[in-house]
């Protein structure tokens, strides 16, 4: 199957759809880690890191788990050569989705506000909504800013860094290879 941005984005979104629809109660807590700003404790935020029984796929893990543990579990599942193709595909879909989730600051911290859901904000021209809603939705709906003439230096292999687009493309090609 050929790599395409649409196919890969759909694959990552499908993991999110799975989590928000038919298996919502099983997977909804996998998308965040509530590290309290006042007293961060990863063990508490990750429900004491429940272990998966040997041979149990990450998708069958306990509902009370956090994004930190699920990323580790899906990464291990994806790298295990004995994992079936279907489970590897699902693991990659979840990884793409969860890595995106953990980069959303309101999925990685909590100010006793349920990840920004209890804080109401408003801006001129936009309706009042939760901070979490604004972070997830409003910037996406806004028109893009005018292009800048300033160019950033390109990353080189010597930098030891890959650009986000390159990482995304490699992940999508891996997803396509599993299809």
Please report whether residue 126 resides in a domain. Answer: yes
Return the number of other C-beta atoms located less than 10 Å from residue 94's C-beta: 30
Share of the chain above pLDDT 90, in %: 35
Q: CA–CA separation, 98 vs 51, rounded Å?
A: 18
Low-confidence ranges of the chain (pLDDT < 70): 1-24, 139-179
How many structural domains does the chain have?
1
Q: Let me know if residue 36 belongs to a domain.
A: yes
Residue 131 lies in a domain: yes
Residue 19 burial (CB < 10 Å; 0-12/13-18/19+)? Answer: buried
Question: What domain range is 77 assigned to?
Answer: 5-138+163-178
Please give the model's pTM, rounded to 2 decimal places: 0.67
In a domain, 111, yes or no: yes
State residue 136's pLDDT score.
80
> Is 154 a member of any domain?
no
pLDDT tens digit string along 79-124?
Answer: 999 999 999 999 999 999 999 888 888 888 888 888 889 998 887 7
- Asked if residue 14 is part of any domain, the answer here is yes
> Is residue 152 in some structural domain?
no
Whether residue 153 is contained in a domain is answered as no
CATH code of residue 13: 1.10.575.10
DSSP the chain: ----HHHHHHHHHHHHHHHHTTTHHHHGGGG----BSSS--HHHHTTT-PPPPTT--GGGS-SS--HHHHHHHHHHHHH-TTS-HHHHHHHHHHHHHHHHHHTSGGGS-BSSSTTTTT-EEEETTEEEEEHHHHHHTHHHHSPPPPPPS--PPPP-GGGT---HHHHHHHHHHHHHHH-
Q: 74 exposed, middle or buried (CB, 10 Å; 0-12, 13-18, 19+)?
A: buried
* CB 47 within 8 Å of CB 126: no
């Amino acid at each position: 199957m050929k790599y395409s941005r649409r196919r890969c984005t759909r694959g990552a979104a499908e993991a999110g759809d799975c989590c928000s629809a038919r298996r919502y109660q099983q997977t909804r807590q996998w998308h965040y880690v509530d590290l309290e700003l006042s007293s961060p404790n990863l063990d508490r935020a990750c429900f004491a890191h429940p272990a998966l029984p040997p041979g149990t796929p990450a998708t069958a893990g306990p509902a009370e788990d956090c994004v930190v543990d699920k990323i580790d579990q899906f990464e291990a599942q994806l790298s295990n050569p004995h994992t079936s193709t279907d489970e590897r595909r699902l693991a990659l879909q979840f990884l793409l989705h969860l890595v995106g989730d953990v980069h959303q600051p309101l999925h990685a911290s909590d100010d006793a506000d349920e990840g920004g859901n209890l804080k109401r904000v408003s801006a001129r021209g936009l309706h009042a909504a939760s901070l979490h809603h604004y972070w997830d939705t409003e910037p996406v709906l806004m028109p893009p800013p005018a292009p800048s003439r300033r160019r950033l230096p390109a990353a080189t292999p010597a930098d030891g860094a890959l650009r986000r687009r390159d990482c995304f493309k490699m992940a999508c090609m891996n997803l396509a290879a599993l299809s």
